[in-house]
Amino acid sequence: MKRSIYVLATQSNSGKTILVTALLRLVNRKNRVAVPFKAQNMSLNSYPAFNGGEVALAQAMQAYAAGVKPIVEMNPILLKPVNEAASEVIVLGKPMGLMEYREYSRNPIDKWRIVRDSLLRLRSLGLIIGEGAGSAYEPNIKGDVANFRPADYLNADVYIVLDISRGGAFTSALGLYNAIPGRWRDLIKGFVINRFRGDPRILGDAVKWLEEKTGKGIYGIIPEVNEARYLWPEDSEAMVDFGNGSVDVAVVSYPGISNFHEFSVLTMEDAHVRFVKWPDSLGEPDLLVLPGAKNTALAMEWLRRSGLDEKVRRMAGSTPILAICGGFQLITDMMSDPTGIEFGNPGHIKGLGLVKAQVTYHSDKIVAHSRAIMNDKLVTGYEIRRGRVRYTGDEPGMVIVERNGNPVNEPDGYFNEDGRIFATSLHDILSNPHVRELVLKMAKGSVKVNSYSSIEVLMHWIDEVARVVNNNITMDL
């Protein structure tokens, strides 16, 4: 039986997720079944698993790359930061509550049993290609279940990714190798150099030095892959502007912005998408987007502190506004969190007041692949939210009719053609070509859109990245 593959790194944001995604796609092309795995992920970006609950967005993307459906075992522990001190802890797709780091590290949750059982389930499905979290070894982290321990359990071939663009790649590789126990060194198959610019021949002496010091080979020198920016992101470090089309789309990047991957579908359209982090850079866009937010109280506080709240109010009626999930909640009159599960503390927050409605956050969370009816047309998307909307004057713009295959009848969203506002609780709403056309027409008048879905666009970019990776590695898949 082929040994599992585990990709680790010496530091965060080294390209583990991108490499694992490419490897899964390459194995899938060989008509073999492989599945992704990340024991513990910290990310605000998540996705509904097909066996219930939520999974980190990166592992959902990797599942699609592998040709399988995302399930919670692919990411059994997910930490979603609520503020600087606490995170929402998700175990096997289900929320366990808010915890600070010390509380989480001392919690009686048997993290290793959860990870081990997930590995057993996945191993029955196919070859596991997993990734670690952050740096593969830190002496201050006790009981790490995300890096070498699962690799050791699987007796996997471990490859260490070295991000050469940030310097110190070779010495950090040697530092990691010398720091870990001997049994873990035996797992290491070799190293992969990532994000290299220039002629690989200039690395000759450094490659020889590392190979002599560790006895491990270099299995690839991968160049900077520009197309990787279009893949689904794990965190906000991947948030970069894209496109050079005529429709200027400004996405407001408030604290806790989440699931901004859904705008990647616009890479195939006549659009330029930019993320606005400062009020002065807002300008006069053709379309203003208020995206998802993990903590709408923090997002609203930032909007007010920056002065963007007044700018958004002034733009309403002239500049089209697309508000999704947390963004939709922000434009209502009032948001109430009686338990503190959303805000971090119980309280009430005034919204932007563009929609006559109020939001109440419940302890139970809606996590679903959903269908809705809008203007007599079916639209699809997904929901990950605690907020429930109660209309106090305005009318809903759609009705959600199905969640995870089960019939429901829940009013949602808001559509005002005169006020030029389109709001919804459904993420990935732009995956629907007719919705994409409606939104872009609001922004620019007559436009022609492509027929691609968001998954089709994602697979296109995964194939582009996999092609580059395949041309620059010597790993035996």
Strand ranges (E), 132-187: 157-163
**What pLDDT score was predicted for residue 83?**
81
**What pLDDT score was predicted for residue 134?**
92
Question: For residues 149 and 155, what is the distance between their CA atoms, to the nearest angstrom?
Answer: 10
3-state class of 14 per DSSP?
Answer: coil
Half-sphere exposure of 233 (CA within 13 A, CB side): 19
3-state class of 54 per DSSP?
Answer: strand
Distances (CA, A) of 333 to 319, 324, 329, 408: 20, 16, 9, 26
| Higher-pLDDT residue of 153, 85 | 153
**What pLDDT score was predicted for residue 236?**
67
Task: List, edge to edge, every strand of the sheet that includes 127-131.
Answer: 34-37, 127-131, 5-9, 157-163, 188-196, 217-223
| Amino acid making up residue 226 | N
| 253 within 8 A of 273, measured Cβ to Cβ | no
In order of their start, the domains of the chain are 5-224 (3.40.50.300), 236-452 (3.40.50.880)
**What pLDDT score was predicted for residue 419?**
77
Kindly report, residue by residue over 177-213, the tens digit of the pLDDT.
999 999 999 999 999 999 999 999 999 999 999 999 9
pLDDT mean over 264-272: 95
- Return the sign of the alpha-carbon dihedral for residues 196, 200, 205, 207: positive
Q: Which of 247, 291, 255 is nearest to 273 (CA)?
A: 247
Element (H, E) at 361: strand 355-374
Active site residues: 325, 427
